[in-house]
Each structure stands twice: as C-alpha cells, then as structure tokens.
A and B are shown apart, each in its own frame.
Chain A
Amino acid sequence: MFDSVRTRLTLWHTGVLALVLIGFSLAVYALLSRSLYRRLDDDLRTTVKEMGFSLADDIDAGEAETKAAANGLYEHIGPRQSAAIFDAEGRLIAENPSLSDVHAQLPAPGSIPADQARLYTIPSPGSAGRRVAVQRITLGNPGRTYLMVVDHPLDEVANQLKTIRVVFYLAISVALLFAGLSGWFLARRSLAPVVDMMERARQISAENLEQRLPIANPHDELGRLASTFNALLIRLDDSFAAQRRFMADASHELRTPLSVMQTATGVTLAQSTRDESEYREGLRVIDQQVRRLTKIVQEMFTLARADAGGLELHYNDFYLDEMILETSRAAEILAIRKDVKIDVGRLSETPYHGDEGLLRQMLLNLLHNAIKHTLPGGSVSLKLQQHASQYEIIVSDTGLGIPLEAQTHIFERFYHVDKARSRNETTEDSGGAGLGLSIAKWIAEAHRGALKLQHSDQTGTTFVAFLPVVPHRQ
C-alpha cells in the first residue's frame, strides 16, 4: 500500500504538517508554562517581602512579636496561599493556616540568603506539589532574626497547563486528520488522470493502436505525459501499419506466382495421361514462376536484411567506369532480346571506394527497369559525370515515361507503375516484386549518396544515382 504514490504523497504531506504543528505547540507550551510559573514565583516573592515590611513596621511601633507576626500574615496572605513566621531557632511564631508539612521541611536558616527570598518546590505524591518562598529578615536593636515562609499549591498552574495540553492534543489530531483526508482526496483527484491513462493504456494493444490517451489539460505535467505517450502511439501505429502493408504486399507478390504454378500442376495433372510436349509446357510455366518467385524472395530478403541493419557494406577499391561497363554488358542480354540499344557514354578512369557488389546491383536494377519500360527499337543510355564533390551515374531511357501520379511512389516497396504488374514475357526477366528501385535507392543511400528520378515524360525517363567522391571511410 505504501507503493502507491497517492499514499506516499498523503503521508509526506501529513507528516510534515504534524512536525510543524507539534514543534509550534511545544514552543507555545514551554513559553506559557514558564510565564505561569514565573508569575507564581513573583507573587510569592511580593507576599513574603510585604510580610517582612509589615512585621518590621509593627515591631517598630512596639507591638508584641506574636501579634505583629499574626498581623503580617493576616494582612498580606493571598488567596490559596498559606504563610508562617519562625524565629531564628526555628520556633513557630505565627501561621495561617496550618502548614505543618511545609514547615517540617524548612531549610536550615543559615542556607537562606539575607534580604532575598529563596524559592523551592516541595513535591507531594498525588498532587502537583507546593511552591515555597522563604526569606530571612533581621529587625530591631539588638537584631532579631525571623524566617518568613509563604507557599502556594501548584495544582492550579498544573491544571491550566493540562488543559492547554489537552487542547493542543485535540487540535493537532483534528488538524492532522483533516489534512490527511484532504491530502488523500487531493492526491486522488490530481492522480485521477494518471489512473485514467493507465486504464486506457492497458486496453491498447497491437490491434487497436489507433486509440489515444485522454488529455485533461494539455499544459500540465500529466497532459504533457499523455501527449508524449500519444506521440509514441502514433509512431508505433505508423510502423505497425507499414508492417501490415508490407505483409499484405509481400503475400500478394508471393501468391501470384504460386497461383500460376498451382494452376499449371492442377491442369496438367487433371488428365491421367498427356503428351510429353504438354508436360514440358507445364514444367516450363512452373520453371518460369519458380525463377520469378526466387527473384522476389531474394529481393525481399535483401531489403529485410538492409532494414534490420544486417546487410553490411564490404568496402573495396575499384574503378566506377569498369563497373559500369561490365554491368551494361550484363544487361545487354536482356536488351538484345527486347531490341533495345544500350549506349554507354565516354567513361574516364574513376577510382572509387565502396561496395562494388551492391553498386553493381543498383546499376543492374536501374538498367533492367529502363530496358523493361523501353519499347523495341528504343535505347537506354548510361553516363558517368563528376560534379564538385559527387559522381553522377545517369541512366536514361526512351520509354513511355512514368505517369505523373506514379512518380512520387516509384521508390516505394512493391509499387508497380502499371497496377497490373508490368511484366515481360521473356523467361529471363519475369518481373520482380516491385522492389528493384527500393533496393537501388537503399544502396545509394548506404553509400551516403542518393537516387533520384530526374525527369520523366513521354520522351523517356532519367534516373540519377549520386555518389559522394569521398565516401565514408571505414
């Protein structure tokens, strides 16, 4: 239960308040008790002093010792006080009222200072005890010494202090109870949005990521927490959506060749016997689809590894111009079959440091893409230029161009310009999964470069791969 922030807040709040209240009460109590006791002492001192004056006056006036003493007692004693006068030998001269228990404990006359009252407390079991003032006085000629004693019971002051203590106990208890309860409710109220957020967050899972936390007040701390959490949810939702899209697209791409294969086997096997040529035809279709499937799976695997950071670049030194020349020769096979010419511009010697294998694949993807979209009789041109700090590999074709609305999407995964999977009937290029350009773009970017669609209209399309002259050195 002490794990709850609400409880801890309440305990802290109440605890601090308790310390303050108790400290304050102790101080007030101490001051009050000191002043009450001091007033009592002052009263006793005054009484004893006045008794002395009265005794002196009466004896000067020639009154008898006992009478003078009795007068002094009678005239000056305050309510609830009692007093007595002794001679130097400790014999009682007068008292009012009886004070036997006090007098029995009189200090030795020698220990009492002259002309100054001495005060002390006589404890008594069952009550608060008595406060006693004793003063020695010497009168007449020859001087005769008297001891004057006045006392006052302490129970009055003790009762007053007790009342104050009780009042303090009650007041502090009530105040703390009230503070505790109000603190508890306040904490509950201010933490209610947190509980709310917790409940809502508990219900959010991968299936309903579009849900958001409630924001009570966007400017307070909890509101900002909820906003931060919502921003996290948005990012999660986006990446889940991308994942789902990828899965849907990938499954679609994989299903199509699988379907053709299943149809081919189903149809071929539907008849119990067939000519060899018919089996051959079925196998040819299956073979073509297996190649296509292999290519799609390879492309998907490449991208998945690139995404996971599992595709490391193997840097080595090579010549860009040689790589371009070799790749264009590799693409020639496809180009000749489609009756498309590949023109390679003048290439000057260009040493480069990068992943030769990946850059070759990037260029091959671009070339295949260009050849695929160029009509027979057209041409694809390949150039290498250096501009300031970057090399530009320019691939242009004389194809039909990419429709304007498709131009912003061509680097997206699984994107097919022609919604119906632009595909070639040649066995060699049985169409990819629409990942070729995504992969090419990734390769350029992995080299700290870029791949851009520079221009596309009815006269043709131009892609430019930018590669920094000084690439990232490992």
Chain B
Amino acid sequence: MRILLVEDEPSAALMLAKGLREQAYAVDVAADGEAALYQTSINDYDLVILDVMLPLKDGIEVCNEIRAGGSAVPVLMLTARDSILDRIVGLDSGADDYLIKPFDFHELMARSRALLRRGKALHSDPITVADLEVDTRAKRVKRAGRQIQLTTKEYALIEYLARHADRVVGRAEIAGHVWDENFDIFSNLIEVYVQRLRRKLDDGHELKLLRTRRGEGYMLTSQDED
C-alpha cells in the first residue's frame, strides 16, 4: 500500500513517515501543496495523509484539486484546527476522514486501515485466500493455521496481492503500490521478493497460491489454472 504524506513540519514528517514505513506502507513525503499535487498526478496512491496548513497551497485547496482531477484516492486530513466549521470545510473539500492534532499514532493507523479497506471494494479483515490468512491489523500472515515469518516488505507485497486476489497484478503496479518513489524500476527486486514469498507460502503445500503469468505479472489465487 502506497501512501503520500503531505506535511510541512520536517520533524513531524520524519516521524510519521518512519512510523508508516514500519507498518509496511510505502511512503512518499511532500512538504507543500504544489509538491503534493505533483506527486498525486504522477503516482497512483492508495491513501493521502494531508496536513491542512501547508505552504504554497493549503490542504483544502490540494484536496479540492485532487477531486477536481477525478481521483477518488482516500484522503485523511490532519489539522490543529478543531472547530466544527473547520471540520465541515475539510470534509466538504473532499476529505474522507479528519483527524485533529495532536492525535494518537495508533488511531491514525486504524483510520488509515479503515480508509484503505474502503479502497476498491470492502475487504474482510483478515483477508483470506484458500487457507491463507492476511491479518492487515496485526500485519501477520498464516497458512493452514501456521504463522509465516515475513519481513516488512514481504508482508507489504503479500498484502497487496491478497487485496487484489484472483487478478493479475503487473510489475509496474506492484512497484507503484508496494515501493515508494525511490524504487528502481529496472532492478529485479520484485522477482527476488516473489521468489522468497513463494518459498515461504507455498513450500510444502499441495495448492500453490502465488502464481506467475509470464509477460503479465503475478496472481494470488486458489482457483485452478485453466
């Protein structure tokens, strides 16, 4: 899951990005409104966490422009202004949720998860594919009841594939949602991760869940190949 964090306060951005990355999200940071709009125009984010007080363009304007551009990306607004009017203006500009500073980091995570769940279709939590369980809250994966040890990045990859189970997911899509802007598109990092995941998930199981579609991408599915 790839998140754009828009926050002009350097130390706040630093800590939030760190926390989000530790929760297996790919995070890009924008420090002002213009940068945020540029980032959303070139990347397909799963969530935008948007501070309201920003240089150049404030969060309300940014949100309005994101919506005007036809994007339905979930937007979680952060602000130190807590009047009812501020909340109304924020939500009316197209934000999906609103969190008042100071906030609890765990609440931010819970609200982010809620917004990500809402994304394309409502997902049950944990997500299950055959006997594979992906618990997006605890960030844990089980196969046939046994927990599988994964690194943060491996988890991020399996979560993304599980959210789009039974559908072929291309390499570019994986790069765009699991890795952040620093990802080198020409590396074979994705293949390496898929190999490792396949070993951890499917070794010793009759039904192979993680499959490769040559020239197309990868798919997590329990259906029989045709």
Contacts and interface: CB of A to CB of B under 8 A. Distances in A.
A7 to B, nearest CB: 49
Contact of B81 (A248, A262, A288): A248
A258 interface: yes
Contacts of B15: 260, 263-264, 267-268, 282, 285
A256 interface: yes
Nearest to A282: B15
Contacts of B14: 285
Interface stretch (A66-74, A183-191, A417-425): A417-425
Contacts of B9: 256, 260, 421, 423
Contacts of A264: 11, 15
Contact of B106 (A261, A268, A270, A282): A270
B105 interface: yes
A280 interface: no
Interface stretch (B52-60, B66-74, B117-125): B52-60
A389 interface: no
A357 interface: no
Interface string A263-296: 1101110110000000000100100110000000
B101 A266 contact: no
Given A251-B82, A267-B18, A419-B58, A262 B11 contact: no
B80 interface: yes
A418 B56 CA distance: 9
A282 B53 CA distance: 23
Contacts of A256: 9, 80, 101
Nearest to B14: A285
A182 interface: no
A261 to B, nearest CB: 7
Most buried by B among A262, A266, A268: A266
B8 A258 contact: no
Nearest to A248: B83
Contacts of B102: 255, 258-259, 261-263
Interface string B11-55: 110111011001100000000100000000000000000000111
A289 B11 CA distance: 9
Contact of A266 (B19, B55, B56, B81): B19
Contact of B101 (A255, A267, A289): A255
Nearest to A284: B11
Nearest to A260: B12
B19 A263 contact: yes
Interface of B is mostly: loop
Chain B, interface residues (CB within 8 Å), range: 20 to 34
A468 to B, nearest CB: 40
B11 A260 contact: yes
B81 A285 contact: no
Nearest to B54: A420
A420 B58 CA distance: 8
B104 interface: yes
Contact of B80 (A252, A288, A289, A425): A252
B103 interface: yes
Given A260-B9, A262-B102, A419 B53 contact: yes
Contacts of B101: 255-256, 258-259
B189 to A, nearest CB: 24
Contacts of B145: none
Nearest to A253: B80
B10 interface: yes
Contacts of B58: 419-420
Top 10 closest A-B pairs, CB basis? A266-B105, A267-B19, A259-B101, A259-B102, A255-B80, A420-B55, A262-B102, A258-B102, A260-B12, A285-B11
Interface of A: 248, 251-252, 255-256, 258-264, 266-268, 270-271, 282, 285, 288-289, 418-421, 423, 425
27 contacts: A251-B80, A255-B82, A255-B101, A255-B102, A256-B80, A258-B101, A259-B12, A259-B102, A260-B11, A262-B103, A262-B104, A262-B105, A263-B102, A264-B11, A264-B15, A266-B19, A266-B106, A267-B15, A270-B106, A282-B15, A285-B14, A289-B11, A420-B32, A421-B8, A421-B9, A421-B53, A423-B9
Given A255-B102, A256-B9, A260-B15, 9 more contacts: A248-B81, A255-B80, A259-B101, A260-B9, A264-B11, A264-B15, A266-B106, A418-B55, A419-B53
